[in-house]
Structures are given as C-alpha cells and as structure tokens.
Structure 1
Amino acid sequence: MTAITPALLDDIRGKFAHVDTCPFTGPRVFFENAGGALTLKSVVETTAKFAAIPDNQGRDNAASHALVSVIDKARADAALFLNATGGKIIVGESGTELLFRLIADACLGSEAGVVLGSMIEHPASRSAAARWSQVAGKRHVLIAHDDATGTVTPEAYAAAVTPDVKVATILHTSPVTGMGMDLPGIAAAIRAVAPEALIIVDGIQHACHGGIDVAAAGVDGYVMSPYKVFSRHGYGLAWASERLSALRHNALIGAPEGSWELGTRDTGAYATFSDVVGYFDWLGGRVSDATDRRARIEAAGRAIHEHEAALTHAILHGTGNLPGLAEMPGVGIIGGVDNPAREGLVGFYVDGKASAEIVAALSDEGIRVHMRKADHYSGNVLTPLGKPDCVRVSLCHYNTEGEVASFLAAMTRILG
C-alpha cells in the first residue's frame, strides 16, 4: 500500500466542495470536520439531480423502477462499506434518530435485565438508552471511562458485564476526545458473558476515518450520520442485524416483515451515499493494487488513518520550525499527548485563557475550529477533568501539513 502523496492529495482535495474557501467569509482552513465533514462535489451534483425528479418509488413506470434500482444499489454499497452480511440498511431522519430507534427496539424487544453503556458515549446513545431502559423496566448501567486517555477499554466492559445484560451500547470514536475505542475487543468482552446481548454502535464520529467491519466486530447495529462522512445533511444511515430487525418496531399495518422505514425516503439521499462509497473505492484504488471493491475500501481506510495520524502528530509536536501544541506553554491536551487511539482530532485548553477567545482569534486568522463546553454534549468528558471548555481541532485526510503549519503559526501569535 502507498501513502497519500502530495500529488494524490491535490486530486483528493479537488473532489471536495469549499475545500479551502468558505462561501461566506472567503479563504480559510477547515479544521471543524467533526462538526460536519466537507461535501463531495459528486454529492452536490447528485442531490440536485434527484431533487428535480418528480416520480416516486413503487410505481409501475420506468422512472419509478430506476429510482428503486438506485435505492437497491445504495443499500448494497452501504452494506459493502460496513462489511455487513444480512440484516437491513436503513435511512432515517438523522444518526441520532436512528440510534434512538434501534436502542428503543432492542430495549422493548428483549427480556428484563440490564442495558450496559459507558460514560464516554455521546448523549445520542446515552439519552436513548436512559429513556428506553426505563420504559422497558431495565436497569441502565454506565461504565466509567478513563479520564487520562479519553477511552473506555474492553477490560472495563469485561469488569462490568453480567449475564443479564440484554442490550449494550458502544461509542466507536469520541467527538470530544477524538479517541477510537477497540470495538471488536469490547464486543467480544460483552459476548463472552452475555452472548445474546443486542449490541448497538454509535459510529457517527468514526465513519469518515474508515475502517468499519461490523461482521468482524460481531455487533447488531451500526449508525452513521452521512454529513460527517462526505455526504450531506437531511438523513441518517444505519445497519441492523437480522435478529434486531426481527423485533417488533414501528411499522405500517401490513408492511413487509422487517421493514424499518416509515414513509417515502429521499432517493437522492441513498444515491449520495453511493457517491461516498464510490469515493472510498476510488481512493483505495489509488493507494493499493487491490481489485476487489471491499479490499479497496479497506485500503482507503488505512491510508486515511496514516495521513491523519501524521497531521495530528504535526499539530502536537510541530512542523518545520513551528512548535506543536504540546510544546506551547500552558497548553493541555485532552486524552494525553501521545495517544495511539487518536483519530484525526486534538482537543486542548490553555491555562488562563478562555477557549472561546482562542476560537475567535483563530477565526480572525482564517482558521475554523470549534469550542466544546461542559454541557449536555461534552460535560461527561470535560467535567471530570475540571475544565469548563476546550478547543477542538478536527481534521480529515484532505487536510494538509501546510494547513497545520498555518494553525500552529496562528497559535504561536495568539499565545504571544
């Protein structure tokens, strides 16, 4: 496998809209990818194409048949992307909405017992598990994560799992710490004690970094927000296993067994996810000699991880003659400096300086980052650390070392 070279990086950047310019403010560096990644130009074109088509699915005419073919292809593409065999690909309102639906059905459709999760999880899964465990008369148990590393480990799950665990939730990657969890390891720890537990994964932050294999992980549900993986807002995408799909859930009377979707979904949403999978396929073909589509998708994930690791290393340790964040006085790094679990994100704070002030100063320098506060979204991570907020620098594989240098130069000026 080859790395992402400067020439390939130029080709990659050429496939994304607004890669270096905001349509409202002009030139900028985009380090706010965890809030929503850049959009593929093909997704923009596909969206416009399908928005103009008046026909509906399920009719006996050529246009309707074509739309159904687009949907079928997108479902097959999504299953390939996830390495999912069997089960159902579902399009819904958003990733959060789909987490609520899958977790609700798992809680209501299983026997009395425990719903197991962790404190590192985003409120999308934690809130859903808290609500539906109560409705279903189950006990909701939350495992403490490691504040120092920003992770929860298989060993922590193994210490907490009991045979009466009926539903378990796992966060694949944290949008606050930026750390990826050992998904196969955690799932195996759960299965070792509660083999029939329904395991549902929040993959919303992880998906853009590649490397998803639900078959290898042995889980029952995986949820993504496509706008965070190079598609657009307005829909969520999930996979549910055969046994999760077999449970009773909201459906129209007389609808086909196992049907999840309510009402007519946007064909263009499906089609844009095919664009995403096609992009991973293309990238995998540029960084490897693989001929199999799944192998190319896997190769793309490895190349993405390698490139992003190099960029985060530069952010932390510097590039050229510019010092990294870890070398700047008063700067603290969420999850530690050299953490192998990090995926394209660095959260930091500066002693004696408000994060909002740093975000604003970086914006003035043409660099877009984001502040996380100790609120209902991020308090689970920041409050135990005694921090009211932090600055989140989140990047993707289309970002460059030159953009990192611009960020570090700006930070050097801001900190004086």
Structure 2
Amino acid sequence: MLHETPGLIEAIRDRFAHVDACPFHGPRIFFENAGGALTLKSVAETSAKFAAIPDNQGRDNTASHALVDIINTAKSDLATFMNASSGQFFVGESGTELLFRMIRTACVNAPKGTKVVGSSIEHPASRSAARRWAGIAGLDYVNVPHSNETGTVSAEDYRAYVTPDTTVATILHASPVTGMGMDVAAIAQTIREVAPNCFIIVDGIQHAAHGQLDLDSYGADGYAISPYKVFSRHGYGVAWISDRLTALPHDMLIDAPATGWEFGTRDTGSYATMSDVIAYFDWLGGEVSEATDRRARIEAAGRAIHAYETHLTDAMINGTGNLPGLRDMEHVTILSGADNPAREGLVSITVDGMASADVVTRLNEQGIRTHTRKADHYSGNVLDPLGLSDCIRISLCHYNTEHEVAQLLAVLKNIRG
C-alpha cells in the first residue's frame, strides 16, 4: 500500500501544486477532489509552455509538425492508459459537452420508436443529453431506478428494462454524490445480451482519478472524462469512441474527413497535459511494482490507488488512533451505508440539526475544504428519494493522508447543531 512504502506519500504530494495550502485561503486540507482534483506541477508547466506557442497544426513548418507529433503521442498514451486497442480519442469543450455529442449522435441515428435506457443514478450530463435527444429523435427514454440503500445500479437492474429494441444506453461509472462505482463491464454485457447493436455511452468523469480504466473490457462505444478531475486542468474534455460510433453520421464540416470529430483547431497543450498525467501514473506504477511494461505499471498504480483510498475512507468511517469514526458519531449519518465495497474515495454525510452548508463553512474555518451537494439539478436525483435537501461531500484522492483524515474527524466529532 502507498503509505507502507517509506517516503512515497511525500514524493506523491511533492508532484502536486497547492497540496497543503490554498493560494487564497492559506494552509488547508483538500477534501474536495470530486469537484476537481489537485493539478500536477508538470501539467501547470506544460500548460504555460504551450500557451506561448503561436503555431497551429496542419501547417508546413517545423513547429506545426512538432505539434502534430505531440498530439499523436498523447493519443497513443491515452490508448495505453485506458487500454483501448481500437477506436479514437479526441478532445472537446468539457466532459459534459462530449457526452452530449456522443449521445446526440447515437440518438439521431437510431430508428424512431426505439428505446434509450439510462439510470437514475447518473449525473445530469448523461441523463439530460439522453432525455433531450430521445425526445427530439422520437425515441422512448426508459429510466432504470438505482438503489437508494447502496447508491448504485447493477447489471440486473438494467436487465429488467433493456429490450431488443434498445438502441442507445448510458452508464455512469462512478457517482459524484454517493461515491460508488458501477460494474460497467457487467452492465454493458447485460445490455448486449438483449440488444447486441445498442450504442453504449459511459460517463467516466468521476471514476478516472481513482485509476483502473480498461476500455477493451467494457464493451462500450463511448467514454468521456474531464481532465481537471484527473490531475490535469480545466478547459477541455477527453472522449473515446469506438469505430462503429466514429462511423455514424455526425456533426462535421462539409467535405471534412469522415472520421473526424473535433471542431476547429484544438489546443495542443490539452493533449500534452494528458501525457503528463499518464506519465505520472506510469511513474507511480513503477514505485509500487516491478513491472516493466507501461500498461502493467499503470494497472499497478490503479490498484495501489484504489487500495490506499479504501484505507483512507475506512479510517474516516471506522476511526483512526483514538478518534471515533463517522459511523460512531451519533450526530452523523453516512449516505449509502458505512460498509459499501463500491465506494471510491468519497464519503457523503449529513449532520443532525445542521444545514450541510453550515457544516462546510465550519470545516472551512478549520482549514478543511469539503463541499455541499444540494437537491438541485445536479444531485436531486440522488438526494430527493432519500428525503434530503443537502449533504456534505468529503472526497479524497491518493495524495491525501491518514493524518488529514484524523484532523477532519477531530473537528466533526465536536460539530453540533
């Protein structure tokens, strides 16, 4: 485990900007990673470098050729990082925008009267796109209810709603509200058993920072991530699409290459910073394994990240040292259960007698950054069925420490309404 290797957590933290202090607030603990992870220092340096370069791709000059090579290298890196042996990667405005484009394309090419299937656990990025474009394309939207108790949706839940005339399906890989991961491969396999030619689009935005991406095993047609949630920066999203989704008629310039999905001249720096992120996973995998193959090192990093983050969330829930855990604090309620194996580095709670926003403010005053999730257009699909108007989201990543968890617990045990 990461914390069992001497000096490794310190080496990890040293690679991230603002790991223990906010440039506006001062010293703080960062437990707001689901809202946007910390940024690698290498990403900040690369962003500055490419922001200063005036040249664009597609020109006959040395700089332009170099930019094209950097983009191609990044696409190759992404294929290794996410284990994609086919299909293509491209960048867009954001993960949300890319989900809309993929879902829109699948829907408008589907026969009228067929079905779009999605789940109530999904972030509105995919739910909104699927419902909007199902209506425009003359398709029926079918909702698969998630479990309020576990904060998940399963393959068997999908099985009850998928029919042979299902032409588009959406899946959430991990919830930014409950923090629970879904078995994407099992859900996709279940869909294909009933509707083999269905186009399956996956929202991987919350899952990506926690490692273990394996597109070849999912059997999906589209997958989107938001790089600012996986140690890069704001301003772009990354999508992967299968060869069959690539080939569908889609928004494009007249007479442009049929397989192209990007609009306009893209920022080479966005691609280059993804190479920085992947190099970081590669480095980490080399620290926690003896693997020599790059994909094997990335897989090792993902396993180590998952194990360590589970260790941290277990400490948060069960206690550490002489501090009681969240489950032992009578004034605290844990969403989706204290013992939930689907959890990915995130614990959402409520505090009796206190509005969640007030708890977040109190934590901020103690230098602990968390976030309020409200029953609004972002989180109402999860909170409303629980009878909650809000909750406190505590989200961590593998650069957080057990000492930081202890400081959180020390404050929360004394917070009362």
TM-score w.r.t. length of structure 1: 0.99
Deviation of 1:4 after TM superposition, in Å, equals 5.5
More displaced stretch, 31-40 vs 104-113: 104-113
**2:201 paired with 1:200:** yes
Question: Retained in 2: the 8 A contact 1:4–1:307?
Answer: no
Aligned letter for 2:188?
A: A
What's the counterpart of residue 269 of structure 2?
Answer: 268
> 2: CA distance between counterparts of 1:62 and 1:375?
50
Secondary structure, aligned partner of 2:160: helix
> 1: CA distance between counterparts of 2:253 and 2:400?
45
What's the counterpart of residue 19 of structure 2?
Answer: 19
1:262-301 equivalent positions in 2, closer than 5 A: 262-301=263-302
1:9-158 equivalent positions in 2, closer than 5 A: 9-112=9-112, 113-158=114-159
Aligned letter for 1:102?
A: M
Secondary structure, aligned partner of 2:321: coil
Secondary structure, aligned partner of 1:252: coil
Question: Retained in 2: the 8 A contact 1:4–1:287?
Answer: no
**CA deviations over 1:77-132 (Å, ceiling 9, x no partner):** 11111111221101000000000000000111222310000000000000000111
Question: Retained in 2: the 8 A contact 1:39–1:230?
Answer: yes
Question: Retained in 1: the 8 A contact 2:50–2:269?
Answer: yes
**CA deviations over 1:200-250 (Å, ceiling 9, x no partner):** 000000000011111111110000000000000000001000000100111
Query: Relative to structure 1, is the Cα distance of residues 69 and 28 closer, same or farther in structure 2, using a 3 angstrom cutoff?
Result: same
**2:217 paired with 1:216:** yes
Question: Retained in 2: the 8 A contact 1:199–1:220?
Answer: yes
Question: Retained in 1: the 8 A contact 2:334–2:349?
Answer: yes
What's the counterpart of residue 368 of structure 1?
Answer: 369
Question: Retained in 2: the 8 A contact 1:304–1:397?
Answer: yes
> 2: CA distance between counterparts of 1:212 and 1:327?
34
What's the counterpart of residue 239 of structure 2?
Answer: 238
> 2: CA distance between counterparts of 1:270 and 1:239?
13
Question: Retained in 1: the 8 A contact 2:178–2:347?
Answer: yes
Structure 1: any 5+ residue segments left out of the alignment? none
Deviation of 1:255 after TM superposition, in Å, equals 0.9
**2:341 paired with 1:317:** no
> 1: CA distance between counterparts of 2:63 and 2:358?
53
What's the counterpart of residue 163 of structure 1?
Answer: 164
> 1: CA distance between counterparts of 2:315 and 2:197?
44
Secondary structure, aligned partner of 1:160: coil
> 2: CA distance between counterparts of 1:276 and 1:7?
21
> 2: CA distance between counterparts of 1:91 and 1:74?
11
Question: Retained in 2: the 8 A contact 1:81–1:294?
Answer: yes
Aligned letter for 1:70?
A: I
Secondary structure, aligned partner of 2:324: coil
Secondary structure, aligned partner of 2:63: helix
Secondary structure, aligned partner of 1:415: coil
> 1: CA distance between counterparts of 2:189 and 2:4?
33
Deviation of 1:320 after TM superposition, in Å, equals 0.2
**CA deviations over 1:295-335 (Å, ceiling 9, x no partner):** 11111000000000000001101100001111001211111
Question: Retained in 2: the 8 A contact 1:51–1:268?
Answer: yes
More displaced stretch, 109-118 vs 186-195: 109-118
Secondary structure, aligned partner of 1:414: coil
Question: Retained in 2: the 8 A contact 1:31–1:395?
Answer: yes
Deviation of 1:5 after TM superposition, in Å, equals 2.7
Secondary structure, aligned partner of 2:290: coil
Aligned letter for 1:36?
A: G
> 2: CA distance between counterparts of 1:277 and 1:199?
25
> 2: CA distance between counterparts of 1:73 and 1:110?
34
What's the counterpart of residue 257 of structure 1?
Answer: 258
Question: Retained in 2: the 8 A contact 1:227–1:233?
Answer: yes
Secondary structure, aligned partner of 1:272: helix
> 2: CA distance between counterparts of 1:90 and 1:162?
31
TM-score w.r.t. length of structure 2: 0.98
Question: Retained in 2: the 8 A contact 1:371–1:392?
Answer: yes
Aligned length: 416
Structure 2: any 5+ residue segments left out of the alignment? none
Secondary structure, aligned partner of 2:191: helix
**2:5 paired with 1:5:** yes
What's the counterpart of residue 402 of structure 2?
Answer: 401
CA RMSD of aligned residues (A): 1.1
Question: Retained in 1: the 8 A contact 2:353–2:416?
Answer: no
Question: Retained in 2: the 8 A contact 1:3–1:306?
Answer: no
**CA deviations over 1:356-412 (Å, ceiling 9, x no partner):** 111000000000000000001000111000010000000000000000001001112
Deviation of 1:2 after TM superposition, in Å, equals 7.2
Query: Relative to structure 1, is the Cα distance of residues 170 and 321 closer, same or farther in structure 2, using a 3 angstrom cutoff?
Result: same
